[in-house]
């Protein structure tokens, strides 16, 4: 589940009933801190797990992502790119992350695919800048930076 609202403790109460039915909660860092009142993202993500979410994958802009489940917590750095426009990067991360999980990737590799997808979106103006496909994103995520963002 993606959240298209500012992080507000009142929103957490509003979505509380659906969290136990949510496999993946995909907020950004500001939303996590606002929803939970936590002092840091990791603590906030753990609060959302305790509220019932199955896994929380938090985007952190230029810091990358933090993914927390009952079994593990992983941090994945953002790719070093020349950022042009961050519009749509959160959605791009979500798409790459969910695809990674659907392909059977572990949390770290799914988050890496999400960060690579977001990097490609950030490298151009607007949410559909550039022409690339899964093979380009996967190569970039694997370290082939000739498939540049």
Active-site residue numbers?
91
Other CB atoms within a 10 A radius of the CB of residue 24 amount to: 19
Count of H helices and E strands in the chain? 6, 3
Among 47, 25, 28, 50, which Cα is nearest to 36's? 47
């Amino acid at each position: 589940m993606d959240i298209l609202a500012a992080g507000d403790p009142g929103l957490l109460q509003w979505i509380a009933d659906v969290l136990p039915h949510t496999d993946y909660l995909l907020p950004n860092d500001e939303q996590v801190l606002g929803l939970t009142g936590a002092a840091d993202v990791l603590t906030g993500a753990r609060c959302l797990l305790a509220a019932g979410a199955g896994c929380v994958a938090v985007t952190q802009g230029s810091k990358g992502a933090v993914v927390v489940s009952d079994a593990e917590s992983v941090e994945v750095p953002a790719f070093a790119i020349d950022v042009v426009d961050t519009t749509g990067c959160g959605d791009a991360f979500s798409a790459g992350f969910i695809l990674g999980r659907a392909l059977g990737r572990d949390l770290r590799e799914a988050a890496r695919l999400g960060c690579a997808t977001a990097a490609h979106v950030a490298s151009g103006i607007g949410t559909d800048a550039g022409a690339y496909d899964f093979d380009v994103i996967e190569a970039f995520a694997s370290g082939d930076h000739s498939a540049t963002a």
